[in-house]
A = this chain, B = another copy of it.
């Protein structure tokens, strides 16, 4: 095994001290032009490559960022990661990834791992929006934190979110405007402790929910669904609200079938995210339903196939790449020492109208 070359090797060959070689190679402090060239030449000859570990140990900075998301395989997170990766790459930062599978225990372990590896900061999509003890005090410990997709109660750090309530309200309002009165919603609706849907709807209707409530995206989208009904003076039928309970297309597929089997089935469907959308479309495909003739459909997240799945799926497109980029930018600023108050970047989802929405038959 070829021994790795160190600064000492370079210094010896160049006939200078390790301190001087370090100054040249590390680009700090003074160095005469002649010395400089000598050192560079020696380094090149030996194939010297700096050891970031040693450097980090002393500087206390690793130029590495950790990311904790639910599942890299999911297109939503994959795009976010790409956005993050692009921005970090521009700054010469490394990117350490982990996935939580939306499981608190795994998330805690992931954060622990990143901490041991001394990341300068992390971007987390937390699976618990209430407790999250493992995320508190990170900034105080010198590790910058940016939340993405979800907020955490009482955790005041930079975050990047989609304006879920508005996007969902807009989507559902569009269905109502097309003439639909019975609109089914297929949502995850996981993890709310006071998680009774009926109770939640009552709170929305009474206006006792505030934007500060650290809700999961799917609950926020349900909120938008209820608000659209309120705005149109329509009652919400609890039978049309289907809860998948997990992040899995098949759960959504099952719920969709249940919805369509109702005595008074909906004439339009709203799916609250990419995973749910996939499940819903699977169910519609199972039944060979013709969109938008038999049923109207409005989805969430713009997945590849939505553009060419005939007749084109109308959807609320989250700016996934931009979300990742924004999170990375916020993080880089903090790592660079910015001490501004915490920021909340709320990005709008764009309603892309394609062919899956029409007046009811």
Contact = CB atoms under 8 A, between A and B. Distances in A.
A2 B141 contact: yes
A82 B72 contact: yes
B73 A62 contact: no
A2 B54 contact: no
Interface string A306-323: 011110000000000000
B49 A57 contact: no
Nearest to A320: B73
A254 interface: no
A75 B99 CA distance: 16
B57 A54 contact: yes
A304 B141 CA distance: 42
Interface in A115-174: 115-118, 137, 140-142
Contact of A52 (B81, B116, B249): B116
Contacts of A137: 2
Interface stretch (A33-41, A175-183, A278-286, A342-350): A278-286
Integer count of this chain's copies in the complex: 2
B95 A89 contact: no
A288 interface: yes
B97 A97 contact: yes
Nearest to A93: B113
Contacts of A281: 308
A205 interface: no
Contacts of A305: 278, 303-305, 309
A50 interface: yes
Given A304-B303, A304-B305, A305-B305, A99 B73 contact: no
A118 B51 contact: yes
Contacts of A142: 1-2, 4
A256 B211 CA distance: 48
Contact of A308 (B57, B79, B141, B282): B282
Contacts of A75: 73, 75, 78
